[in-house]
Amino acid sequence: MTPMAKLTIDLREGFDDDEVVVRVADREVFRGRVSTRMQLGLAHRVETDVVGPATVTVALGGATRSLEVDPEATPFVGADAGGGDLALRPQGEPFRYM
């Protein structure tokens, strides 16, 4: 049986009182307005549990981006907004902020 793993999705740069929806494996895990806290470069962190690879979907206004993620290999996903678009980036290490 595939063990449950933690997936962390960071809404990072470029959010300015934007309505964002985050879905993981077709399940809505976050909906709300977020703004990037400039001194960190982080707007909001979403943590959820998943079993096996899952599709992460982030929707911002008219832009929607999806990414297939294996939480065993890349349990961290960063979402950056800019110019009305979104970029999703998976990585194995936590994103770093200062």
Q: x/- contact string, 8-47, with another protein (CB under 8 A)?
A: -----x-----------------------xxxxxx--x--
Spatial strand order in the sheet of 44-51: 44-51, 4-11, 76-82, 85-91
Q: Which residues pair with 30 in a beta bridge?
A: 22
Nearer to another protein, 52 or 94 (CB): 94
Give the shortest CB-1-to-another protein separation in angstroms. 28
CB nearer to another protein: pick between 27 and 45 = 45
From the list 53, 51, 61, the residue with the least C-alpha distance to 86 is: 61
Under the criterion CB under 8 A, does residue 91 sit at the interface with another protein?
no
Starting at the edge strand found earlier in the chain, the sheet holding 63-69 runs 27-34, 18-24, 54-60, 63-69
Contact 44, 56 (CB under 8 A): no
Nearer to another protein, 8 or 21 (CB): 8
Q: Which residues bind another protein (CB under 8 A)?
A: 13, 37-42, 45, 94-98
